[in-house]
Amino acid sequence: MKGLNTWLAVVVLAASLTEAGLTAQAQTQSAQNSQQTVPPAAQSATAPVTTTRLIVVSLEDRKLALVENGQVTKVYTVAVGKPSTPSPAGEFTIERRVANPTYHHDGRTVAPGPHNPVGDRWMGLSKAGYGIHGTNEPNSIGKAASHGCIRMGKADIEDLYSRVEVGDKVEIVGQRNDETAKLFSAPQVAPAAQIQPAMVLAKANSPTPAATPAANSSSSATVSPAIAAASPTTVSDAVSSMLSRTGSVVSSLLVGGVL
């Protein structure tokens, strides 16, 4: 009997230990699940906001557009390569961003400052030797005047530099296409040839104002409204009669010694 009681005690103890182990395992699993589960609001709040940027340069338009997430953010006027040193067309990326760069070219070195040919900002492209930069020749902006790089005015290059990052894509378009036409085309103005016929038609349909005598007319005869409104034959007869009477008066004055 004593052995049976001992055996039962062992069985009860084992069952208790097993239940305690299962309870602890369930609590641990629940804690892990609660740590791994993040509310949707928290997920959206911590998700990084990415911006896709594209720089489009039209060599024909001499314009640069910054496109962010498919929308045009800014358009700038630029200088492009001259015919003897044209700007390269194609797709590139920005590889370097340098503020207040030192200029090196053909053994010539120019320190940062107002005389630096690349201005105070440089964005080097994936094509060696080419970049988007400032200039110490602001009058060249809007012209084909560079050695192949894309030049920008001081305020514009500083603004663009603050908006872009290394790795952003750059597309240089040699000939105008549908994309650049949408980005850079100015509003169309009706040609003069289309405006002139409308003006002529309007003038033809407008009433002709009645003729008025000049204020400083040298004529001594005054044409009455009745004569002005009469037919050409009536006007001619009236004028002849007036001249005849005028001649008679003049003759009488001559005879009387007045004139």
**CATH number reported for the structural domain that contains residue 171 in this entry:** 2.40.440.10
Phi, psi of 95 (to 5 degrees): -105, -25
pTM over the 0.85 mark: no
Examine the pLDDT at 40 and tell me if it is beyond 90. no
Per-residue confidence band for 12, with pLDDT thresholds at 50, 70 and 90: low
The model's pLDDT over 132-146, given as tens digits with 9 standing for 90+, comes to 999 999 999 999 999
Please count the CA atoms within 13 angstroms of the CA of 47 that sit on its side-chain side.
10
Based on the structure, what is the number of domains in the chain? 1
Minimum mean pLDDT range among 15-19, 64-68, 177-181: 15-19
192 falls within a domain: no
Told to judge if 133 belongs to the known catalytic residues of this protein, a careful annotator would answer yes
Per DSSP bridges, beta strands 150-151 and 131-133 are parallel
Per DSSP bridges, beta strands 53-58 and 63-68 are antiparallel
Per-residue confidence band for 149, with pLDDT thresholds at 50, 70 and 90: very high
Q: What is the mean pLDDT of residues 88-105?
A: 95
Above pLDDT 90, what percent of the chain? 46
162 falls within a domain: yes
98 falls within a domain: yes
Catalytic residue among 104, 105, 115, 133: 133
With CA atoms as reference, report the closest residue to 162 among 107, 109, 123: 123
At residue 17, the pLDDT reads 52
6 falls within a domain: no
Examine the pLDDT at 52 and tell me if it is beyond 70. yes
97 falls within a domain: yes
At residue 38, the pLDDT reads 52
The model's pLDDT over 219-229, given as tens digits with 9 standing for 90+, comes to 444 444 444 44
Q: Bigger pLDDT: 5 or 165?
A: 165
Minimum mean pLDDT range among 25-39, 135-149, 204-218: 204-218
Domain assignment of residue 79, given as a range: 53-184
How many angstroms separate the most distant Cα atoms in the chain?
185
CA distances from 145 to 2, 170, 193 (A): 111, 20, 35
212 falls within a domain: no
At residue 190, the pLDDT reads 44
Under the phi-then-psi rule, with left for phi > 0, alpha for psi from -120 to 50, and beta for the rest, what region is 106?
A: left
Q: Dig out the tokens for 52 from the structure.
A: 């896709």
113 falls within a domain: yes
Angle formed at CA 166 by CA 82 and CA 86, multiple of 5 degrees: 10
Residues 148 and 129: their CA atoms lie apart, in Å, by 9
63 falls within a domain: yes
Catalytic residue among 104, 105, 147, 149: 149
- Other Cβ atoms closer than 10 A to 54: 17
Told to judge if 149 belongs to the known catalytic residues of this protein, a careful annotator would answer yes
At residue 48, the pLDDT reads 72
Q: Bigger pLDDT: 68 or 193?
A: 68
Cα 10 off chain centre by = 87
